[in-house]
Amino acid sequence: MKRYDTKDIRNIVIVGQRGAGKTSLAEAMLFSAGRTTRLGSVDDNTSNFDTEPEETKRHSTIHTAVAWAEWKKTKINILDTPGAADFSYDMRMAAKVAGAAVVVVSATDGVQVGTEKTWAALQERGIPSAVFISQMDRERANFTDALESVKENLSRQAAPLQVPIGNEQNFKGVVDLVSQRAFLFSTDGKELTEEDIPADLADEVESHRESLMETIAESDDALMEKFFEDMTLSDDDMKAGLAKAIFTGKIVPVLCGAAKQNYGSRLLMDLIINHFPSPADGLKFVGKDGDKEVELDPDSDAPLVAFVFKTSSADIGKMTMLRILRGTLGGEAVLVNANNQNKERFGQIYALTGKKRDNLDKASAGDIVAVAKLKFTKTGDTITAEKNELLIDKLETPLSVTRYSVKPKSKADEDKLGTRLNEVLEEDPTLRVERDPDFGEIVVGGTGQIHIDTTVERLKRAGVEVEMTLPRIPYRETIRKAVGRTEGKHKKQTGGRGQFGVCFIEMKPLDKDAEGDDIVALEYGGKFHFKNSIFGGSIPRQWIPSVEKGVRERMRKGVIAGYPVMNIEVDLVYGKYHDVDSSDFAFQLAGSKGFQAAVKNASPVLLEPVYAMEITVPEECMGDIMGDITSKRGRPLGSESKGHNITVQAQAPLAEIQRYSADLESMTSGRGSFTLYFDHYAEVPSNLAEKIIAASHVEEDEE
């Protein structure tokens, strides 16, 4: 395969809501460019992009897939991204290395929640974008309504470059507003026929063209002067001005088509190569050399810097996908992972089309390629030439919103589970694997139910089967009132040296915001204060810490339900000891027993974790969301409208929202998204607390 110069490369990310037709559009681009001999389809599992079993099962993109196509001597690298909110990190990583974006919006549904969030990520990146209104051949397809939805929910700078000819099953072509020519699609999607503008569309075309011309003129002072002189712009002026307007964000061009029929892909690729920037002209990456920021000019002769945006261990082997930000990659080379300073040996490099690989001898700055079998490199790492330690900032990974406890089904699975989980973690930075400190469970956290389910399926493909259960809720215990002097005694005589220790403690609640040198922040949350008010040596000094240790150990085990105790102050006020029988162990047990007795008399309560939630849904789902939150013992805190969507702020107990990802999917037909994070602990209602306490088995101290 030939090497392309930087100026002849375009890196395009295709984004949008799940089901809008992103992958179908990417397939159409490959087919039109002659990269495939048949139009790949998600529906019949012939897609060049959705190739993993989890994707073919769901007919939906889960992992960003890379492909390339040559169009009129320009290489277009196509990054097809997931539309589900669970995999938004993949989309943002692809957008980080892309030079421009194509936002796919369904002609039947308009802009949806996921598309709005995707648009916000693109705006943050600052790359030029176009909108492709897809599925124009479907029943209820409406270009005008979809365009208005784009303007209202994404950008007022959205401007159509095309007017559709026909609608729904009669959709058959478009009028290009710049060239003022009609393009009709052949029924097999293989040909474009150029004709004059249909008479019945002349007025509509003229209206849109005038609006487009004014917008282009406003984006450039020289064009503005020309426009005011003649009140028009030539086709050449419009073409030249359009590229600048797109790059600066003054225009978001809107095109349309029906990708499954291969209607519109050729005109989209014309826009990409003519009006989207090459890596030589696009946004520059900024690296960090210590505290110094360095702008990376895409010079193929400079020392190499590359950024890894995806790692995959599919059946073609481990592949590391990267964009070359500077320098040239090719031939046998030893490069450095700037994140961990490990050296990596690079061999063959590839241009990918899904699972297919084309060998490359060399690749220029700006290109997107893949390499095999890197040992120390993960997603988000920076690869540099030796003695070049520039780092590209990684993206912040999202918080887990869905968590499951996993355990192997068999002994054989147990031996392999850790290794396989580590392999998945290398590919997927959004996955969280931890051992629960309260219960010792292995807990896997993800960005949603689909994320967790597909992770389990990947483990099964790798030869490890696991059972999933919801993690136990990390309840906590505390007290509501102070108690006076309470005895803790451990006395035992077994024939030889006995065991004897007595302590008296007082206890009261401790404010969660209390501060002081002696106040301890507990590793499981909350605070603890131990005071020593012993006078006169009723307990020798060396055994005072023993009492505190016994109290702390019992706090960790819990008193009423077996959950850790927090936000308590314990004051050691008196004690007794024996010259022979007293010991560290005896006073530990005395402290533990005294603590248990005091807690039981201090109006103990059970606490549960309460999480803050931000839920974004279409406005028609607002009532269902509010009712559901209330039914989950939650508390809506407010809402904010944005276009046709509503963002709800709420709080709810973790015990009620562990399956919220699946619930939201059901209530919104996949159009909702949410985030959550721990906010505070609150008292469990007494009727529920009684059941939890009754089901617990608290380990008592030995007598």
Q: In this predicted model, what pLDDT tens digit does every residue of 172-225 receive, in sequence order?
A: 999 999 999 999 999 888 889 999 999 999 999 999 999 999 989 888 888 888
Cβ count within 10 A of residue 515:
8
Q: What is the predicted pLDDT for the residue at 103? A: 98
Percent over 90 (pLDDT), the chain: 73
The pLDDT-based confidence of 315 (bands split at 50, 70, 90) is low
Mean pLDDT of 548-554: 97
H-helix or E-strand spanning residue 318: strand 317-326
Question: Is a pLDDT exceeding 90 seen at residue 530?
Answer: yes
| pLDDT at residue 322, as a whole number | 97
Residue 513 has pLDDT above 70, yes or no: yes
Position 495 confidence tier, pLDDT thresholds 50, 70, 90: low
User: Phi and psi for 592 in degrees, rounded to 5?
Assistant: -65, -45
Collect all residues with Cβ–Cβ distance below 8 Å to 145 and sequence separation of at least 6. Answer: 110
pLDDT above 90 (res 56): no
Q: Are the CB atoms for 703 and 589 separated by under 8 Å?
A: no
330 has a pLDDT exceeding 70: yes
Average pLDDT over residues 520-540: 93
462 CB-contact burial (10 Å; exposed 0-12 / middle 13-18 / buried 19+): middle
Contact status, residue 509 vs residue 482, Cβ threshold 8 Å: yes
Whether the per-residue pLDDT at 645 is higher than 90: the answer is no
Exposure on the CB side of residue 56, measured as CA atoms within 13 A: 10
Spatial contact of 636 and 648, defined as CB atoms under 8 Å apart: yes
More confident site: 543 or 333 = 543
195 to 174, 188, 625: CA distances (angstroms):
10, 18, 51
Residues 6+ apart with CB under 8 A from 396: none
pLDDT at residue number 249: 92
Is the pLDDT confidence value at 21 over 80? yes
> Which distant-in-sequence residues (6+ apart) come within 8 Å of 295 by Cβ?
284, 285, 286
Q: Which H helix or E strand runs over 683?
A: strand 673-683
CA-CA-CA-CA dihedral for 255, 122, 398, 637, to nearest 10:
-90
Nearest by Cα to 97 from 363, 369, 348, 314: 369
Extended beta strands in 72-196, E state: 74-80, 100-106, 129-134, 158-160, 162-165, 173-176, 181-185, 192-195
Structure confidence at residue 554 (pLDDT)? 96
Nearest to 612 by CA among 684, 521, 513, 681: 681
Who wins on pLDDT, 6 or 662? 6
For residues 146 and 415, the model is more confident at: 146
Q: Give the distance, in angstroms, between the CA of residue 234 and the centroid of all CA atoms in the same chain.
A: 45
Q: What is the C-alpha separation between 114 and 541, in angstroms, rounded?
A: 63
Mean pLDDT of all residues in 99-126: 92
pLDDT at 608: 97
Q: Is the pLDDT of residue 290 over 90?
A: no
Band of residue 4 on the pLDDT scale cut at 50, 70, 90: very high
Whose tokens are 């006073």? That residue is 587
The kind and range of the H/E element at 403 are strand 402-408
pLDDT of residue 536: 84
Lowest mean pLDDT among 152-166, 249-263, 376-390: 376-390
Does residue 22 come out as left (phi exceeding 0), alpha (psi in the -120 to 50 range) or beta?
alpha
In angstroms, the Cα distances linking 606 to 324, 454, 557, 658 are: 55, 35, 14, 19
Of residues 44 and 703, the one with the higher pLDDT is 44
Q: Render pLDDT for 218-231 as a digit per residue (tens, 0 to 9).
A: 888 888 888 888 78
- Residue 329 scores a pLDDT above 60: yes
**Residue 474 confidence (pLDDT):** 94
For residue 562, what pLDDT is reported? 93
Q: Between 599 and 498, where is the model more confident?
A: 599
Average pLDDT, the chain: 92
Q: What is the number of residues in the chain?
A: 703
| pLDDT-derived band at 51, boundaries 50, 70, 90 | confident
Segment 491-504 mean pLDDT: 86
Residue 703 has pLDDT above 60, yes or no: no
- Predicted confidence band of residue 701 (pLDDT cuts 50, 70, 90): low
Q: How far apart are CA 64 and CA 96, in angstroms?
A: 13
* pLDDT given for residue 55 in this prediction: 86
pLDDT, residue 702, reads 60
pLDDT, tens only, 233-254 = 888 888 889 999 999 999 999 9
pLDDT value of position 316: 60
What per-residue confidence (pLDDT) applies to 493?
A: 78
Tell me what pLDDT residue 281 has. Answer: 94
Domains of the chain: 6-275 (3.40.50.300), 287-384 (2.40.30.10), 402-469 (3.30.70.870), 476-602 (3.30.230.10), 606-690 (3.30.70.240)
Average pLDDT (280-284) is 94
Mean pLDDT of all residues in 123-149:
95
Mean pLDDT value of segment 654-677? 90
